[in-house]
């Protein structure tokens, strides 16, 4: 029973103090309803499709997830840093490397008389200008060195050491002298000259660029063989700095070999062959690091040889008792610091052993 003044049925719906007050805390505003994940089908939709009373609504996309925003920021930061570093420290492209070919000259020196010979090679050495020469690699003595304007003392030492190693490999190795191998010499040649080096041995030519005898010393194995492996050597090495990025080493050495005819027995007479080599090497810092050399010039005088012979592929020296044809230019002494200018010279009699 209602209180005084209340309708018999109680307070009408919607009137103040009515039953609505007890549900007021669960009334949803419009935005909450629109965001609901479940939505009621209309009566017509339920009748037509026999669908459930509610359906799931797609989620509202309120923007990019926090992880995606962070990824975008990181990419933008990395890109900005790369652009900044590129402006502050632009990449310097390597300079194009200029390949300079070795220029070579090989001059045979013909004897004025029969080539002297002896059964004992030691007797030939003792009676020749090579009597006081050192034996083998000891003859390639390293000079006193000091630092240059742009290279340290250790770098200069490295340059003359590589030059010596090349001289030893190219003029003392018995297998190189007989033409059996060139590998030890090739390993010391800078990569930019390997094409020229290989072509010199695959297709030798007397063109001042592709003579094997410009790179190394070797004798025709069908013609002669070593009678004594103790080769006499004397000469000098000198290093200079022609530019801020290179060192040059000049090598000037006279080598004396004792040879006898190929296949000859121990009783055969031996004779001496003199080879004067003047080589100019160039080294950049990469060459010093890789222990390789670039050869600029190779000037070779060798005798006794016959004028007009093939000196490009190998040397075929005149042996004991042999003579050269007449008509060679005036004599040249490979023991002295002069240079023959003709394509063939005459071996001075003072350069021959007196036996």
At 267-286, the pLDDT tens digits run: 899 999 999 999 999 999 99
* Dihedral (CA of 264, 127, 140, 253) sign: negative
Q: Which helix (H) or strand (E) holds 154?
A: helix 153-171
Query: How far is 204 from 297, CA to CA, in rounded Å?
Result: 17
Q: Please write down the HEC assignment for all residues of 267-286.
A: CCCEEEEEEEEEEEEEECHH
Q: Is the pLDDT of residue 39 over 80?
A: no
Per-residue confidence (pLDDT) for residue 347, from 0 to 100: 81
Per-residue confidence (pLDDT) for residue 37, from 0 to 100: 57
Instruction: Count the alpha carbons within 13 Å of 1 in the hemisphere toward its beta carbon.
Output: 1
In the block, which residue shows the tokens 């240059």? 148
Q: Is the pLDDT of residue 68 over 70?
A: yes
CA dihedral 36, 38, 43, 45 (to 10 degrees): 120
Per-residue confidence (pLDDT) for residue 26, from 0 to 100: 57
* Dihedral (CA of 69, 71, 72, 78) sign: positive
Write out pLDDT tens, residues 85-128: 665 555 444 444 566 899 999 999 999 899 999 999 999 999 99
Per-residue confidence (pLDDT) for residue 322, from 0 to 100: 93
Structure tokens at 320: 């004991």
Write out pLDDT tens, residues 209-231: 999 999 999 999 999 999 999 99
Q: Is the pLDDT of residue 257 over 60?
A: yes
Q: Is the pLDDT of residue 45 over 90?
A: no
Write out pLDDT tens, residues 166-219: 999 999 999 999 999 999 999 999 999 999 999 999 999 999 999 999 999 999
Q: Is the pLDDT of residue 253 over 70?
A: yes
Per-residue confidence (pLDDT) for residue 94, from 0 to 100: 43
Per-residue confidence (pLDDT) for residue 38, from 0 to 100: 56
Q: pTM for the full model?
A: 0.71
Within 8 A by CB and 6+ apart from 235, the residues are: 139, 140, 251, 252, 253, 254
Per-residue confidence (pLDDT) for residue 272, from 0 to 100: 97
Question: What number is the average pLDDT over the span 325-347?
Answer: 65
Q: Is the pLDDT of residue 147 over 60?
A: yes
Of the two residues 36 and 156, the one the predictor is more confident about is 156
């Amino acid at each position: 029973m209602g209180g005084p003044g209340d309708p018999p049925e109680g307070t009408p719906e919607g009137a103040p103090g009515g039953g609505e007050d007890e549900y007021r805390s669960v009334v949803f505003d419009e935005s909450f309803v629109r965001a609901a994940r479940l939505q009621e089908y209309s009566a017509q939709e339920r009748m037509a499709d026999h669908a459930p009373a509610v359906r799931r609504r797609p989620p509202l996309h309120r923007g990019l997830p926090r992880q995606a925003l962070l990824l975008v920021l990181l990419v933008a930061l990395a890109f900005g840093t790369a652009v900044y570093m590129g402006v502050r420290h632009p990449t310097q492209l390597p300079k194009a490397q200029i390949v300079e070919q070795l220029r070579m000259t090989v001059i045979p020196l013909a004897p004025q008389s029969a080539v002297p010979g002896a059964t004992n090679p030691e007797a030939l050495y003792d009676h020749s200008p090579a009597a006081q020469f050192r034996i083998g690699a000891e003859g390639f003595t390293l000079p006193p060195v000091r630092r240059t304007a742009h290279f340290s003392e250790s770098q200069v030492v490295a340059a003359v050491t590589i030059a010596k190693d090349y001289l030893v490999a190219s003029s003392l190795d018995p297998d190189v002298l007989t033409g059996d191998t060139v590998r030890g010499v090739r390993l010391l040649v800078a990569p930019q000259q390997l094409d020229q080096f290989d072509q010199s041995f695959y297709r030798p030519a007397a063109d001042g660029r592709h003579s094997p005898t410009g790179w190394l010393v070797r004798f025709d194995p069908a013609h002669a063989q070593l009678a004594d492996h103790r080769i006499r050597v004397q000469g000098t090495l000198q290093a200079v700095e022609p530019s801020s990025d290179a060192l040059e080493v000049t090598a000037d050495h006279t080598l004396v070999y004792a040879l006898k005819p190929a296949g000859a027995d121990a009783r055969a007479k031996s004779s001496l062959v003199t080879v004067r080599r003047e080589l100019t090497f160039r080294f950049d810092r990469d060459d010093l690091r890789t222990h390789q050399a670039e050869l600029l010039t190779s000037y070779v005088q060798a005798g006794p040889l016959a004028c007009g012979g093939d000196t490009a592929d190998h040397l075929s020296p005149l042996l004991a008792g042999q003579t050269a044809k007449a008509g060679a230019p005036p004599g040249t002494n490979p023991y002295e610091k002069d240079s023959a200018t003709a394509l063939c010279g005459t071996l001075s009699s003072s350069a021959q052993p007196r036996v």
